[in-house]
Amino acid sequence: MMRIPFELAETVAVVVDEGTLDAAARRLHITPSAVSQRIKALEEQLGRVVLVRSKPARPTEAGAAIVRLARQAALLEHDVISALGADSGEASRTTIPLAVNADSLATWFLPPLARLSERHPVVFEVHRDDQDFTAGLLESGTVMGAVTSRATPVAGCRASTLGAMRYEAVATPAFVARWFGDGLDAESLGRAPVLDFDRRDDLQTRWLRDSGADPARPPRHYVPASNDFATAVQLGLGWALLPTFQSDEPLARGELVAVGGDPVDVPLYWQQWNLRSELLDAVADEIVAEGRRVLAPVDVISRR
């Protein structure tokens, strides 16, 4: 039976985390040559390449499985050390990589992590991506848990409902007066500048299509940071769909007004590795409880 030495699997994971062999060597307190030798030894043992030696280094399909193994082993080791009462402070601190969409990160996701860090010897490595793509980071072994729009569990994972994030089309009063002064219709929507987070952000495109407008017509700005995106709307750069977390107060102060049309509700789910770990379960409990506290119930709000 083939056995994979933990030291070799851990080395692959560190190279993937750090991006280069030199950086991994510094973290592992060994030489870059020793890192290379460990990778080579594992590849010879498996008969497969585990790393693409690019910048940054990235795992092959076999390498992703090894990274997942290393992360699971480290998590279980942490649980055992804690159970034995052998906790030695900083030496026992473990890293939990998580993935989350930008709007959740900017609004409700960080408070539960802060509470967790007060109670557990853990640090978090947060990966930001669109909610439609975070599940891929679970599949690759890059993260242990993710906020995602995908309800069906990723292979080897389990899923819990968080709630729905509501988005409404808003703009400044001056912007609405300039571009929609004669009414909101396909023609005015085709002329008015719109804001997108990035080229994978399809919320505004969906809303335009549902409103009977051609999504290809309006000029588009791209602002790839959630808080800066909201600021761009408040500065009158364009109209956009903002989470109600970000738009409620400016709307109440009259700094923004509703453009019109239907809101867009995006159900969110928490997915994590299906691994029995006290620490990972504590992370899930805190995040799921927060999501269900601040987001709308999915059984009340459906995706439009």
| Max Cα-Cα span within the chain | 74
Local confidence band at 299 (pLDDT 50, 70, 90 cut-offs): low
Amino acid 88: pLDDT: 52
93-304 folds as D-Maltodextrin-Binding Protein; domain 2 (3.40.190)
Average pLDDT on 152-159 reads: 92
1-87: CATH number? 1.10.10.10
Say if residue 54's pLDDT is above 90. Answer: no
In 46-78, which positions are buried (b, 16+ CB within 10 angstroms) versus exposed (e)? Answer: beeebbeeeeebbbeebbbbbbbbbbbebbbeb
pLDDT in tens, 171-223: 999 999 999 999 999 999 999 999 999 999 999 999 999 999 999 999 999 99
- Name which residue leads in pLDDT, 138 or 113: 113
Find out whether 48 and 106 touch, Cβ atoms under 8 Å. Answer: no
* C-alpha separations of 203 from 209, 223, 233, 265 in Å: 10, 14, 15, 10
- Name which residue leads in pLDDT, 57 or 218: 218
**Domain parsing of the chain, residue ranges:** 1-87, 93-304
pLDDT in tens, 226-278: 999 999 999 999 999 999 999 999 999 999 999 998 899 999 999 999 888 88
**How far is 201 from 147, CA to CA, in rounded Å?**
16
The whole-model pTM stands at 0.80
Say if residue 303's pLDDT is above 50. Answer: no
